[in-house]
Amino acid sequence: MSYSANKFFVNISKIQTVRAYIAMDNKENVDNLIADIRDMKSVENVVFYSKSDTYRYINENMKSITYIGKLPEELFPSFIEISLGEEYRNIDYVRDLESTLNDLENVESISYGEKWILNFLTIRFGVELFTAIVTILLSISIASIIYNTVKLNLIRYKKEIKIYSLVGATKTFIAVPFLFSTIIEAIISFFAAYGVVFFIFKILDTKILQKISIDFLSFPPLSTFMLLFICALIIIIASSYLSINTFLDYESSFYE
C-alpha cells in the first residue's frame, strides 16, 4: 500500500511540461527561441501556441463562459510548451530550467504549476514519513513477536534443553535447530502473507479500481520485493538469535 501511495505521489509530482510565455510572437523571434530551447538537453519536444491558437482553444473548451468570445485575440498569450525528458521532471531541475529560460530574450514568464507541485511534494513527504514510521513500528512489532514466539517455543522444550545441556551439548548444538526452524517458519509466513496481500490487491485493482478508472495500486518490482525480503530476513534472524541466545544464557546461568 505504501509503495502504491508513494508511486502515486511520485508520478503526480512529476513536471511533464513547462510553459514559456513570450513577449513578441513574430516568426523570427519565436523560431530563434524554439531553436535555443531545442538545444537544451532536458527538452524532449517543443510546441508553439500563438495568440490565435490560445484564443481558439479557450473558445472551444470554455463555451459556458460567453464573454470570452467577445474579448480581442490580442489579450490572449502566446507561449511555447516544452515537454521534458523522463529523467528531468523533478522540481529541482525544473527550477534550474526556469532560471535559464528567464535569461533568454523574448521570454516573459515561466509556468509549470509550481504551487500544485509543491503541495503534492509536501503530501508525498508526509506519506513517506508516515510510511517510514509505520515501517519502523511494524519492524519492531515483528521482531518482538518473533522474539517472544521463539522464547515460548524454547520454554516448551525447557526440560529437554536442560537435559541436552547436562549431557554436554554446546549452546550452538542446541540453538541451531531452533534458529533454522524459526527462519524457515518465518520465511513461509512472509511469502504466505505477501501472497494473500497480492491477491487481495489484485482483485481490488481489477474488479473495482480499474472499473472506476483509478490507477492507484501498483505492485513493487522484483528488486524492491527482494530488498523487502532481505530486510525481513535480517529482522527474523536477529530477533530469533537474540531470543535463543538470551534464553540459553539465562537457563545455563550458574546462579539460582
Site residues (vs another protein, CB under 8 A): 159-160, 162-171, 173, 249, 252, 254-256
Nearest residue (CB) to another protein, 165 versus 218: 165
- Name the residue nearer to another protein (CB basis): 107 or 248: 248
Nearest to another protein of 159, 207 (CB atom) = 159
Helices (H), 62-111: 91-103
* Separation between Cα atoms, residue 8 and residue 149, nearest integer Å: 37
Cα Rg of the chain (Å, integer):
31
- Given a contact cutoff of 8 angstroms between Cβ atoms, the answer to whether 144 and 237 are in contact is no
For another protein, give the closer residue by CB, 80 or 174.
174
Which distant-in-sequence residues (6+ apart) come within 8 Å of 47 by Cβ? 80, 81, 83
Closest CB to another protein among residues 32, 252: 252
Nearest to another protein of 108, 249 (CB atom): 249
To another protein, the closest distance from the beta carbon of 239 in angstroms equals 22
Q: Which is nearer to another protein, 166 or 222 (CB)?
A: 166
Q: In whole angstroms, how close is the CB of 183 to another protein at the nearest point? A: 21
DSSP line for 47-65: EEE-HHHHHHHHHHH-TT-
Tell me how far, at minimum, the Cβ of 164 lies from another protein, in Å.
Answer: 6
Print burial letters for 117-138: b (CB count within 10 Å at least 16), e (below 16).
Answer: beebbeebeebeeeeeeeeeee
Distance, CA of 85 to CA of 41 (rounded, Å): 8
∠ CA 195-199-204 to the nearest 5 degrees? 150
CB of 172 to another protein, least distance (A): 9
User: Least distance from C-beta 247 to another protein, angstroms?
Assistant: 14
Q: In whole angstroms, how close is the CB of 132 to another protein at the nearest point?
A: 40
CB neighbours of 64 closer than 8 A, spacing ≥ 6? none
Q: How far is the CB of 238 from another protein (least distance, A)?
A: 21
Please give the Cα distance from 30 to 25 (Å, whole number): 6
Cβ neighbors of 165 (< 8 A, separation 6 or more) are 174, 251, 252
